[in-house]
């Protein structure tokens, strides 16, 4: 006879076990899906625009006057009991003086717009003007700002988008010079032709010098002459000197300096005296007693610098050969303070020419705030010169660190960063993020308002909307401003197409995303083996973890 009691004793635990296995697997899958959902669906602004305002955070970057942002309406409106007011945007920076501001589109009703574009960072050098067509601004300049006017309770401003383009400025062709006269043999010391052609350069503010040398020394030292782009014809005269000579002409403008030489001879017997004058300019001549050789360099000014603790600033020093002979192996060096790092190599400089040396001033975190006088020296094989630069070291009051940059979707880059308060007082911080391509064009941006308590460190996250096709080597810029401190950081990033939601930036992966993915996979593997073990043993999940009795 069938023992129903045994049957039920055997069947009930198996059904319960299957239910527990199913529930356990389902619960773990739900947890894994929740983790991935929280990770990937960290919703931020979407869409792509060079400058886009569609939230209170972005509008708060500007100036409210008798208006306010209404969160329920999602727009800027007139303030309570106000009959008129204005909203002025923050100054938009295209990071290029050749930027053309094209279109301004907006959402809302009733408001009127005025705009201005400027060369000053605070737009103090331009006035607001009314434009008839916001779809065709056609304004060129690095900075742009708009102002809206409200005169009715029905006026609203819900969103603004401004786009611009940047054309690469064509660089001036370096100046060059060629000499056609004097050349060959001349039969007179008077009115010898000097014909030369200048090409390239800026075409204005050209500086021209020439000198004449022979085997025994200098006949005519560096002498200024009038010149212009194109062909130039002058004459000069020599005194008491026949034989072989070399004329060298030096041309310089803002694009650089260049020289050219031409050899010629004068078949006048030695000792013959033939005077002459230079046409169109005063010429220094020499007889058998040659002009003294002058070996001399002069250094340009380096403005005083304000540098924050922990920062490095790249600077340059100009050097001019103000003598009559070339100087060689000129090298820049700093004093023994250890704050100056030279980043340039030794150079040779011809008479009348100049060179630029680059260097950096490195201020460590532990440098005491205050004024420092740093010494610079340019040492050539023939001469030397020195210069001093004043550096004012400022206390660092806020530390900003980018901890992770990751492309979480095709149209979004996520930036994790931390703020450390160093001044001992609470700070409200505005952080402006921009992504710039290799040509210097801004391709994406976003901003965020953050707060950090005195002497505390807090972590933050922001999503930057990007174009889905954006890839390659880029630069992430973060400018942060509080009521007591402002600074910025640059971070090179390499942006690839997202693979499973992850991308690699600057040689380091999205560490947080990788860890989460690994944890989820491990949990699923553990669940799989637990389920198999329970199925084989006929035990429940509780039985597997129960202690042996």
- pLDDT at 393 exceeding the cut of 80: yes
pLDDT in tens, 40-61: 443 333 323 468 888 888 898 8
- E strand or H helix at 44: none
> Under a CB-based contact definition with an 8 Å cutoff, are residues 317 and 333 in contact?
no
Helices (H), 416-540: 511-537
What mean pLDDT do residues 128-150 have? Answer: 89
CA distance 290 to 220: 8
What mean pLDDT do residues 148-172 have? Answer: 81
pLDDT in tens, 353-366: 899 999 999 998 88
- Cβ-Cβ contacts under 8 Å for 303 (sequence gap 6 or more): none
- pLDDT at 463 exceeding the cut of 50: yes
pLDDT in tens, 498-537: 544 333 334 333 344 445 567 667 777 777 777 777 676 7
- pLDDT at 295 exceeding the cut of 50: yes
pLDDT range class, residue 494, cuts 50, 70, 90: confident
| The pLDDT value given to residue 519 | 64
| The pLDDT value given to residue 212 | 83
Average pLDDT, the chain: 78
**In this structure, are strands 305-308 and 384-394 parallel, antiparallel, or unpaired?**
parallel
Tell me the whole-structure pTM to 2 decimals: 0.38
Token pair in block for residue 343: 């980043």
> Under a CB-based contact definition with an 8 Å cutoff, are residues 28 and 524 in contact?
yes
pLDDT range class, residue 167, cuts 50, 70, 90: low
pLDDT in tens, 102-124: 889 888 899 999 999 998 888 88
DSSP helix/strand/coil, 338: coil
What mean pLDDT do residues 200-211 have? Answer: 69
| The pLDDT value given to residue 549 | 47
- pLDDT at 255 exceeding the cut of 70: no
- pLDDT at 420 exceeding the cut of 50: yes
pLDDT in tens, 1-54: 555 444 444 444 555 555 554 545 555 555 555 555 444 443 333 323 468 888
DSSP helix/strand/coil, 173: coil
Domains of the chain are 4-41+514-545 (no CATH), 51-166 (2.60.120.260), 176-266 (2.60.40.2550), 297-394 (2.60.40.10), 398-509 (2.60.40.10)
| The pLDDT value given to residue 45 | 34
| The pLDDT value given to residue 50 | 61
From the number of C-beta atoms within 10 Å of its C-beta (0-12, 13-18, 19+), residue 280 rates as: exposed
pLDDT range class, residue 289, cuts 50, 70, 90: very low
- Within a 10 A sphere around the Cβ of 516, how many other Cβ atoms? 17
- More reliable by pLDDT, 53 or 420: 420
Torsion angle defined by CA atoms of residues 446, 447, 448 and 453, in that order, rounded to the nearest 10 degrees = 130
pLDDT range class, residue 240, cuts 50, 70, 90: low
| The pLDDT value given to residue 380 | 94
pLDDT range class, residue 543, cuts 50, 70, 90: low
> Under a CB-based contact definition with an 8 Å cutoff, are residues 371 and 390 in contact?
yes
């Amino acid at each position: 006879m069938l023992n129903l009691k045994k049957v039920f004793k055997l069947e009930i635990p198996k059904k319960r076990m299957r239910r527990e296995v199913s529930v356990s697997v389902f619960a773990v899958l739900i947890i894994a899906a929740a983790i991935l959902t929280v990770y990937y669906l960290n919703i931020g602004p979407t869409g792509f625009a060079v400058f886009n305002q569609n939230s209170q955070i972005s509008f708060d970057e500007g100036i409210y006057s008798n208006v306010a942002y209404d969160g329920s309406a999602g727009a800027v409106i007139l303030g309570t009991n106000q009959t008129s007011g204005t909203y002025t945007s923050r100054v938009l920076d295209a990071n290029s003086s050749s930027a053309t501001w094209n279109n301004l589109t907006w959402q809302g009703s009733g408001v009127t717009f005025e705009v201005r574009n400027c060369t000053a960072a605070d737009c103090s050098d331009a006035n607001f003007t009314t434009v008839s067509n916001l779809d065709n601004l056609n304004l060129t300049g690095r900075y742009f700002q708009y102002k809206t006017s409200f005169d009715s309770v029905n006026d609203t401003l819900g969103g603004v988008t401004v786009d611009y383009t940047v054309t690469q400025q064509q660089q001036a062709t370096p100046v060059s010079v060629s000499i056609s006269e004097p050349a060959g043999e001349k039969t007179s010391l008077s009115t010898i032709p000097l014909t030369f052609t200048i090409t390239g350069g800026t075409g204005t503010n050209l500086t021209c010098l020439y000198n004449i040398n022979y085997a025994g020394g200098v006949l005519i030292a560096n002498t200024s002459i009038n010149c212009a782009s194109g062909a130039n014809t002058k004459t000069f005269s020599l005194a008491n000197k026949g034989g072989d000579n070399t004329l060298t002409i030096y041309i310089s403008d803002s694009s650089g300096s260049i020289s050219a030489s031409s050899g010629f001879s004068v078949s006048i017997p030695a000792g013959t005296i033939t005077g002459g004058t230079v046409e169109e300019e005063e010429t220094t001549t020499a007889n058998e007693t040659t002009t003294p050789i002058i070996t001399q360099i002069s250094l340009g000014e380096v403005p005083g610098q304000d540098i924050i603790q922990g920062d490095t600033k790249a600077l340059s020093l100009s050097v001019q050969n103000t003598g009559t002979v070339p100087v060689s192996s000129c090298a820049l060096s700093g004093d023994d303070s250890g704050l100056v790092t030279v980043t340039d190599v030794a150079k040779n400089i011809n008479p009348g020419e100049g060179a630029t040396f680059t260097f950096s001033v490195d201020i460590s975190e532990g440098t005491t705030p205050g004024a420092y006088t740093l010494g610079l020296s340019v040492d050539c094989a023939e001469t030397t010169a020195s210069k001093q630069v004043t550096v004012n070291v400022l206390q660092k009051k806020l530390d900003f660190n980018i901890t992770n940059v990751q492309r979480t979707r095709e149209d979004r880059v996520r930036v994790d960063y931390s703020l450390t308060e160093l001044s001992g007082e609470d700070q409200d911080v505005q952080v402006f993020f921009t992504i710039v391509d290799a040509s210097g064009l801004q391709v994406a941006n976003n901003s965020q308002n953050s707060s950090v308590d005195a002497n505390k460190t807090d972590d933050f996250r922001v999503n930057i909307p990007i174009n889905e096709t954006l890839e390659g080597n880029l630069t992430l810029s973060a400018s942060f401003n509080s009521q007591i401190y402002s600074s910025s950081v640059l971070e090179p990033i390499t942006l690839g197409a997202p693979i499973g939601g992850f991308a690699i930036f600057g040689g380091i992966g999205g560490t947080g995303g990788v860890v989460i993915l690994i944890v989820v996979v491990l949990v699923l593997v553990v669940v799989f083996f637990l389920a198999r073990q329970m199925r084989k043993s006929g035990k429940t999940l509780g039985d597997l973890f129960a202690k042996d009795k």
